[in-house]
Structure 1
Amino acid sequence: MLKAVIFDDEYIVTEGLQMMVDWSRYGIELAGTAADGLSALQMVRELQPDIVMTDIRMPGLTGLQLIEEIAKEMPDTACIVFSGFNEFEYIRKALKLGVIDYLDKPITLEKIDEAISRTIARIGHQLEHTQLKSQVAANKEALLEKATLDLLMIGEQAVADWKMAFGEADANRVKGVTVFAATGNTERLEEHPSYRLVSFSYGKEWVTVAFHYDLPADQLWEQLTLRSPQMEESIGSGQTYADAADAAKSYTEAVRALRYAVFLEEKGWTRFEHAEDSFPHGLTGCEEEIVFNMRTGNKEGLLRLLDEYKHCMEAERLSPESVEQEVLKLAYIGYQVAKESGGDMKQQAIVPYRELGEMSSRDRMFEWLREQMELLHNFMREDKHAVKHNAVEKALAFIEKHYLESFTLQEVAEHVGMNATYLSLLFKEKVGTSYIKYVTKLRMEQAKMLLHKGMLVNDVSKKVGYYNYRHFTELFKKYAGVTPGQFREGHVGGKTHEPAQEVEQHE
């Protein structure tokens, strides 16, 4: 039902229109009346009516001034004016302001009926136009999402269609593309003039593609850095590529980074560059999966993938020499993965590759590969307990000594002499929390102590290893329940303020 209001300083007009007109017959609710311009404007703002009927002359604010304000704040509102004078100049101005109709007094039921009928028809056309525009916009968005998904799936062949959906002019401005894959749709990124985002659901993931108009993409990276500690979902990002056709590469990398984060149960943003050690170069997708499951200790997944690997190789109908070469390559990669774990590989026999040359059966070659990979997996599992204690203890000592400085997991891994991915797994298993969460807790507790002593927030931020003031503030508030400034004031001022209960940190 449409909503209407009547404004006139003559009581007989407002009362007469209320009583004489059957508003429900038109599908209209008469929501209110006012006798002066200021009260009328306040009522319009409160009630948000579809139709305003107003006299031109009113105290406080004239009808024309009222219509001007309505046109600024609620341009879709239909206005009808009436007056008892031959005020042609006022009428001309009213029409310029876009009023639907003008009625001269005395107002009759016939005049009202005609005016309301024309107004309702006008509103109907506006609604149809608005709905049509919304439908067109939704169709354009759907086409863009489809074209972008095709870009991720088939690359170069989809570029022309993507440019058409994106807009040729805007597409020509694109200087780079980065793809993000997330476990849910709760972490929508914010738009910015320096990039355009296209987001959609694909399978179990929520995919966002950032088309950069400017590089480097500082605004986007800063947004992700600041929001990452508060994220309840995991989000992985691929590398940024200059050519839109390479969006498929970035998408593959984003999915890999997300898989790595999900396996480690890490929330927030994980870049492919940080997880890249988990994905050796020059391997097929199946081979990468095998290596990943070895590194993460997933024996069931490892054996299943070895069976899939066998079927894939059989389908290619390779020669015995080619099969031997591929099997040997994967066996040696498995050996390197076991070696990366930090265990004493001197106790593990060198891969007896000469046995392969004596095997005439392809099935026997794959059986040999399975035996070797299972042997290496078992070695890693058995040796893991001794290695875990030494490596993690050494990492903890390094962190304890340097946690007020800026360093990465890779630097800690190099100090320990272990692959970063494997160290990350061991650290979480032994300590019960991730490396990032552990370091964050140490820094936040030190920050609380320094703030308690009265040190300035900006100085504390740098003192505990955060050179981005906003990032430090966000992390501290998430950890302590109050901002660093509030925490400092609560203690320096001699108050009994205590921060809210600490919450779990996310990477």
Structure 2
Amino acid sequence: MIDILLVDDETYVTESLELTIPWGELGVSTVLRAASGKEALAIMEENAVDIVVTDIRMPGMTGLDLIAEVNRRWPHVRCILLTGHSDFDYAKKAIQLHAADYILKPVNDDEFMSSVSAAITSVRDEWDEFDKYHRLLYSRKSDYKILREILMHDVLLGREITPKALREQLKEYELHMEPERPAAMMLIRLAGRFSGMDQQSLDLMDFAVGNIAEEVLGEHYNVWFGRGPHDCLVMFLQNQEPAEDSRMDHVTLKGAAETFREHVVRFLQGDLSMVITPPFPFSDLTTVYRKSLGSLVLSGPGEHQILYIDMEQTLGKRPDNDAARALEELYKPPVLPQLLETKQWDAAALKLNTVFDGVEKVCLSREHAYEMYLSVTNAFMYIAHKQGHLVHEIDHAGFDLVLAHQLIQSPEKLRRWAMDMLAKLQEEQSDQEGVQSRRHVIKQVQELVTRDTGQDLSVKMIADKVYLHPVYLSKIYKAETGEGLGDYMIRMRMERALYLLKHTNKKIYEITSELGYQNPQYFSKMFKKHYGMTPNEFRDQT
């Protein structure tokens, strides 16, 4: 609703306007009055005024002075001048001050209402534009959040993307990161009171933690924050100036992480566990993420700590052992999540068998076995969630911690479990596709029946049109709808017959023919069987 302020040193003018104008019809909710420019400004400081109607000649501050001050302090307010002076200079000055209108006394109610209505329309148009702009801005930010998260998943999961394409996408999504320069990464797990929250509350906490990260760390770093593909928060940090890259060391990063965590604890009353990497080249991102993810999981769900991982060991700059080399096949493109997502089941099985064959030839430490378990299970969890399932819905054992410890002890047990899980994921995907295919067939059948109720349709004719055997078609129709296909066809005809009997004057034999029946007696028999009365009896009672 609109609030309007009437200003005139002759109070009877504002009193008359307040009492005689049908303000509610104009959309005005509040009418305020002032007897001077000074009083008007005081009122505007306390109230959200949308329109000011003011006399020009007033003692102390003229109406033109008042409009000039209103324009300076409240530029969105519309101003209308009200005066008994028709001097052109006043009109000229009013135009210069962007007055909405200029009305002469004595006031004509119709003219006054027309002027106020125009000002109200102008105000509301501005509101609509403002609202539209902010809706578009919010929509754009929401889209950017999704696009940024998709891009983050792509780079973390090792999908091939050229430096040029990455640079262009970063720029397009307004992420101030440069792929040619080193960046540090933080993996974050919400802990403390966050652990007991539902998903909607956790989404809000993700947003709040991201805002804190950008506010606390954004002064010195360019920040890219989002939820990673394995249910933890991921943050990339890059110095704002290339000259500062050398100062992005262990001490400064850990200090920044401590400050960030303190703000989360203070303002959100929760806690964090974090794994921090020193700066690394973007080309090593997938390897760094994999190692960091393993460290975050190994830190334990109840611990609130900040771990700083050894990048030399992570990137293989120290002599590597046979076990680590045996696992490298897991991380060679195309990686397992990519194979699963593109339904390359045979290639995924080959990749797993190649890894397990290599592992059998070396001495595998418990930590390397756990790395292999995490890599495989993370891929399974990722694709299961993409399909809209939880892992325990596909495999009742899921990621049971007792089972995990047993699998880590024996690579052969891990192989059997992994191959079994792969088969279940494939079966689940096939079942989903089968359901979709069957639903499409049912839709085709129903469209044929409803379109051709007047034709002498049979189950065989319909089956021929959808390229299925009549027996198989009847079976899947019954399974999907709970109604036999023949029963459905009869029901559609009977419902059509009911409509024609009730809403037309057609003869029974005409309706019989229109529905594709050859014999009126047979039609009458079917109708009675369906509705408990003959067509004539039904028509007589309607």
TM-score when normalising by structure 2: 0.47
Tell which structure's C-alpha radius of gyration is larger: 2
